[in-house]
């Protein structure tokens, strides 16, 4: 199947700093990627839809100024958590579809963010 | 609103069969998906249904009844490695998933 690579897998940062998470489609081009957040023992919650060459679409309740999304190429989307706080500590996962019309999403390995 | 419900936890014995249920109420429906997720890892695709009925893939089967807003995932010949969370997700529109709360399955020897 298609491969989505996410980096870093784990990051610890100090409160108030910013953290960038990368999501790459390795063997296909993705005009659209998705960012999810998962708190412990809870399910994935969609944060935003990342669109190549245009602004991301954010879900209700997600602060777009805090979670900056950039999708500058067909194989890379980045999520930057700005001015991180301990409550932002979570598991962040990206996903993409390998072709138009596909219904199976491929997920990155996830990034465990801990803000101290 | 969107509502997808699954049992929180289930326990079963190695070699047995287990059924994980999922009920949903969503605006828009383009299919129901099941994903497996081991702790700290990304979900991996198991099965999906668009039409009513049973889809079988090896040890895993998934059933859908759209009129009842109900699906289940059936796991046969359980193995220890099947201990994981199982996520039910409804596809709304073309790309947008809404995930259920997930069911943590523990397989005992």
Average pLDDT of chain A? Answer: 91
Q: Dump pLDDT digits (tens) for B34-76.
A: 999 998 888 898 999 999 999 998 999 999 999 999 999 999 9
Q: Which residues of A touch B91 (CB under 8 A)?
A: 103
Question: What is the rounded average pLDDT of the residues B80-105?
Answer: 91
Q: Which residues of B touch A102 (CB under 8 A)?
A: none
Nearest-Cα distance to chain A for B12, in Å, is 19
Residue from the list B31, B42, B104 with its beta carbon closest to the beta carbon of A110: B42
Question: What is the rounded average pLDDT of the residues A96-106?
Answer: 78
Q: Choosing among B29, B95, B96, B105, which should be mutated to test the A contact, i.e. which has the most A CBs within 10 A?
A: B95
B93 or B19, higher pLDDT: B19
Core vs surface per residue B18-28: b (16+ CB within 10 A) or e: bebebbbebee
Q: What is the pLDDT of residue B3?
A: 86
Question: What is the rounded average pLDDT of the residues A55-83?
Answer: 94
Q: Which residues of B touch A112 (CB under 8 A)?
A: 40
Find the radius of gyration of the CA atoms of chain B: 13
Q: What is the pLDDT of residue A43?
A: 83
Q: Does A31 have pLDDT greater than 90?
A: no
Q: Which residues of A touch B42 (CB under 8 A)?
A: 6, 93, 107-110
User: Touching check for B11 and chain A: CB below 8 Å?
Assistant: no
Give CA–CA dist B50/B33, Å, rounded: 9
Q: Does B1 have pLDDT greater than 70?
A: no
Q: Does B97 have pLDDT greater than 90?
A: no
Q: Closest residue of A to B34, CA-based?
A: A104
Q: What burial class does residue B75 get, using C-beta atoms within 10 Å of its C-beta: 0-12 exposed, 13-18 middle, 19+ buried?
A: buried
């Amino acid at each position: 199947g298609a491969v989505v690579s996410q980096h870093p897998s784990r990051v610890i940062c100090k409160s108030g700093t910013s953290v960038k998470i990368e999501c790459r489609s390795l063997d296909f081009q993705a005009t659209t990627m998705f960012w999810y957040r998962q708190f412990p023992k809870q399910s994935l919650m969609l944060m935003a839809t990342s669109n190549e060459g245009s602004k991301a679409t954010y879900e209700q309740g997600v602060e777009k100024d805090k979670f900056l999304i950039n999708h500058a190429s067909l194989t890379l989307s980045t999520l930057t958590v700005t001015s991180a706080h301990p409550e932002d500590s979570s598991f962040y996962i990206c996903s993409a579809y390998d072709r138009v019309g596909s219904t199976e999403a491929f997920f990155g390995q996830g990034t465990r963010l801990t803000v101290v | 609103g969107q509502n997808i419900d699954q049992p929180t936890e289930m326990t079963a014995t190695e070699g047995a069969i287990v059924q994980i249920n999922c009920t949903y109420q969503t605006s828009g429906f383009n299919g129901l998906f099941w994903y497996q997720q081991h702790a700290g890892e990304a979900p991996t695709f198991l099965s999906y249904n668009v039409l009513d009925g049973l889809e079988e893939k090896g040890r895993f089967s998934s059933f859908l009844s759209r009129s009842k807003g109900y699906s289940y995932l059936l796991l046969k010949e359980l193995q220890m490695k099947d201990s994981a969370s199982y996520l039910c997700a409804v596809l709304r529109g073309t790309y947008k998933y809404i995930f259920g709360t997930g069911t943590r399955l523990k397989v005992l020897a």
